[in-house]
Structure 1
Amino acid sequence: MITALDGLVVHDRSGSIAGQFCGKLLCDFGAEVWLETGSDHSDIAAGGTGDRSTALDLHLNLGKRLGSPPGPPDVVICGPADDADELRRNQPAVLVVCISGFGATGPKAGWLAPEIVLQAASGMMISNGTRGKEPLYGTGNRASYAAGQAAYIQIMASLRVRAQTGQGDCIRIDAAETAAAMCFPYALQAIYNGTDRRRGDQDIPAGQVLCRGSWVCLWIYSNRFPALCRSLALDHCLTDPRFAEAHERQNHWPAFFALVQEKVDQHDPDAFVEDLQGMSIIAARAYRISELRASRHLAARGYWRPVTIGQETFVLPGPPFRMAVTPAREPKDKAHAAT
Structure 2
Amino acid sequence: MAEDQIDPDRTNEGALAGLRVLDLSQVMSGPYCTMMLADLGADVIKIESPDAGDQSRRSWGYSVIGEDSRAFLSLNRNKRSVVLDLKADAGRDRFFELVRSADIVVENFRPGTTTRLGVDYDAVRAVNPKIIYASISGFGQTGPYANYPGYDLIAQAMTGVMSVMGEPGRAPIKSAIPIADLGAGMFLTIAILGAVVARGRTGDGQYVETSLFEAALAMSVWESTEFWSTGKSPQPIGSANRMSAPYQALATKDGYLTIGANNEKFWRILCDVLDAPDLIADPRFIDNDARLTNREILAAELQARFRTRTTDEWVEDLLAAGVPAGPIRDYQQVLTSDPHTRAREMVISFDHPVEGTTYALGSPLKLRGTPVSSHPSPPPLLGEHTEEVLHDLTDHQTGRAGD
- Per the alignment, residue 114 of structure 2 pairs with 82
Q: Work out whether 1:231 is the aligned partner of 2:282.
A: no
Distance change in 2, residues 1:181/1:231 (3 Å) = same
TM-score, with normalisation over the residues of structure 1? Answer: 0.86
Aligned pairs (5 A) from 1:10-21: 10-21=21-32
Mean Cα displacement is larger for which, 119-128 or 77-86? Answer: 77-86
Deviations 1:161-199 (A, max 9, x none): 223443321111122112211114333443355355433
Mean Cα displacement is larger for which, 262-271 or 321-330? Answer: 262-271
Provide the secondary structure at the position in 2 that maps to 1:76.
strand
8 Å contact from structure 1 (residues 208, 216) kept in 2: yes
How far has the Cα of 1:112 moved from its partner? 0.5
State how far apart, in whole Å, the 1-side matches of 2:371 and 2:131 are.
25
Letter in 1 for 2:69: T
- Per the alignment, residue 92 of structure 1 pairs with 129
How far has the Cα of 1:301 moved from its partner? 2.4
8 Å contact from structure 2 (residues 163, 172) kept in 1: yes
In the TM superposition, structure 1's runs of 4+ consecutive aligned residues that sit over 6 Å from their partners are 47-51
State how far apart, in whole Å, the 2-side matches of 1:95 and 1:244 are.
54
Report the RMSD for the aligned CA atoms in angstroms.
3.0
Q: Work out whether 1:37 is the aligned partner of 2:78.
A: no
- Per the alignment, residue 6 of structure 2 pairs with none
- Per the alignment, residue 325 of structure 1 pairs with 369
How far has the Cα of 1:328 moved from its partner? 0.7
Letter in 1 for 2:343: A
Provide the secondary structure at the position in 2 that maps to 1:36.
strand
8 Å contact from structure 1 (residues 35, 66) kept in 2: yes
Distance change in 2, residues 1:245/1:183 (3 Å) = closer
Aligned pairs (5 A) from 1:308-319: 308-310=351-353, 312-319=356-363
Deviations 1:16-70 (A, max 9, x none): 31110111011111111111232697577xx988976222212210221111677
8 Å contact from structure 2 (residues 36, 189) kept in 1: yes
Deviations 1:300-337 (A, max 9, x none): 22332122224732222111221101011231125138
8 Å contact from structure 1 (residues 37, 50) kept in 2: no
Q: Work out whether 1:109 is the aligned partner of 2:109.
A: no
How far has the Cα of 1:248 moved from its partner? 5.2
Q: Work out whether 1:170 is the aligned partner of 2:207.
A: yes
Mean Cα displacement is larger for which, 288-297 or 195-204? Answer: 195-204
Q: Work out whether 1:216 is the aligned partner of 2:243.
A: no
Q: Work out whether 1:300 is the aligned partner of 2:343.
A: yes
Mean Cα displacement is larger for which, 107-116 or 256-265? Answer: 256-265
Mean Cα displacement is larger for which, 177-186 or 199-208? Answer: 199-208
Q: Work out whether 1:279 is the aligned partner of 2:294.
A: no
Deviations 1:266-306 (A, max 9, x none): 64424422322332323222322222112222222233212
How far has the Cα of 1:148 moved from its partner? 0.8
State how far apart, in whole Å, the 2-side matches of 1:281 and 1:305 are.
32
8 Å contact from structure 1 (residues 11, 35) kept in 2: yes
- Per the alignment, residue 72 of structure 2 pairs with 57
Provide the secondary structure at the position in 2 that maps to 1:207.
strand
Provide the secondary structure at the position in 1 that maps to 2:114.
coil
Letter in 2 for 1:55: R
- Per the alignment, residue 71 of structure 1 pairs with 98
Q: Work out whether 1:153 is the aligned partner of 2:190.
A: yes
Provide the secondary structure at the position in 1 that maps to 2:257.
strand
Deviations 1:235-288 (A, max 9, x none): 444455655676654444434433433443364424422322332323222322
8 Å contact from structure 1 (residues 273, 284) kept in 2: yes
Gapped runs of 5+ residues in structure 1? Answer: none
8 Å contact from structure 2 (residues 23, 45) kept in 1: yes
State how far apart, in whole Å, the 1-side matches of 2:150 and 2:27 are.
11
- Per the alignment, residue 307 of structure 2 pairs with 265
- Per the alignment, residue 135 of structure 1 pairs with 172
Gapped runs of 5+ residues in structure 2? Answer: 1-11, 84-94, 386-403
